[in-house]
Amino acid sequence: MGTPKADRNLLGLTRAELEEVAQACGQPRYRAGQIFHAIYARRQTDFISLTDLDKPFRMFLSDRYLVRYPEIRQQVVSCDGAIRYVLALEDGRTVEAVYMPEVGRATLCISSQVGCAVDCRFCFTGLLGLVRNLTAGEIIGQVLALTQAQDLPLRYRLNVVFMGMGEPLLNLGQVMKAVKLLADPRGVGIPLRRITISTSGIVPRIQELGREPNRPKLAMSLNASTNEQRTALMPVNHKYPLEELLEVCQAYPLRPREHLTFEYVLLDGINDSDLDAARVAALLRGIRAKVNLIPYNPGTELPFRPSPLERVLAFQQVLMERHVPTFIRISRGRDVMAACGQLKLADVQSASRSLRLPETRPLERFLSAGTVVYSREWTRGRQYSGHAEDPPQLTPNFMDQTAARHMGQA
């Protein structure tokens, strides 16, 4: 008889599931804790190197099991330091994730599905349709693959956002399994307050998530001020109109000082008027909410345009005057199609070459207007909103300097 082939990937298994593996191997249950710590906390993928296990058990594990991350097939570095990764799964399907470095920390934008069924009209990923859900192992594997590729130290300060490919709440079971693995202090150890799930508004799953005792932060993709407008942009609104979405948001349990985030992609001439802003403020009345305004990130096959900077600032002003905390989120990785709404399985280098971006980053115009922008890559982690006496000291080439530093060129 030949040696058994290692063909079961342990990545994505919980401690309880690893206990079953240990017992099936004739080992005591406590071995599961050692394996769990090795896989998730120490990020080890070679059982032979687990010297706290006896050698026969290590050999047994190596013969039958493996720990394999999604394979990085392609990576492209943006001028702002963000890196877009294409990762291959074991069945040959691919997903995309984005690494966004900051000073002393990083944000990882990861996928929950191959493709997406929600089909938001302004989102590049929606052109794919849904191929399949990801497993918890494939989800957490994106985090571990990117941290390994970046050679980040253990316990590096990470934020994880489920804002890549897919609708996370349509894969809630596997997403929450991955979230719990990421947040386990005996494993990867990312606090729940630094993990965010973004949804298009799947009402029953929002309610289900709200019943979770240990849950991450939640962000709603709003993007419109009326049902007619939202249905045209987001077909999911047919099934879960604004009234139902906002009702469940009103009832959503929040921790002290926690807010529901509402994301609003600004599309030139479509949803960016002062009237739209006033209607959004009215919709959110009574909800402990904050709004992230996202200037649209164009895709090569989509007809929309980003709102002019003056319109973005005016929209923010209307909301702020109505006491809605409102921040402008400048997406990173736009030049390599890595920004919000741009992920799609494509040749990222050719996509970035064919994409002509309108100018949306004149920092001096933000500063001269006296408006302070919430943007972590610009403010180095400090949060501002509205007008302030002490604006951050930004320069027009700050982003270029940051990108160069992260790429080892400065």
Indicate which residues carry an active-site annotation.
96, 340
CB 188 within 8 A of CB 135: no
Residue 130 β-bridge partners: 115
Q: Which helix (H) or strand (E) holds 131?
A: strand 130-133
The DSSP-derived string for 147-196 is HHHTTPPTT--EEEEE-SSS-GGGGHHHHHHHHHHHH-TTTT---GGGEE
Nearest to 11 by CA among 153, 154, 134, 158: 134
Which residue shows structure tokens 């990762």?
Answer: 87
* Antiparallel, parallel or unpaired: β 130-133 and 113-115: antiparallel
Residues near 89 by beta carbon (within 8 Å), at least 6 away in sequence: 70, 95, 114, 134, 138
96 φ, ψ (degrees, to nearest 5):
-125, 150
CB 193 within 8 A of CB 142: no
371 φ, ψ (degrees, to nearest 5):
-95, 135
CB 332 within 8 A of CB 80: yes
Helix, strand, coil percentages for the chain (3-state, nearest 5): 40, 20, 45
Which residue shows structure tokens 């949803």?
Answer: 271
- Token pair for 169: 């709440």
Distance CA 341, CA 345 (A): 12
Distance CA 212, CA 224 (A): 28
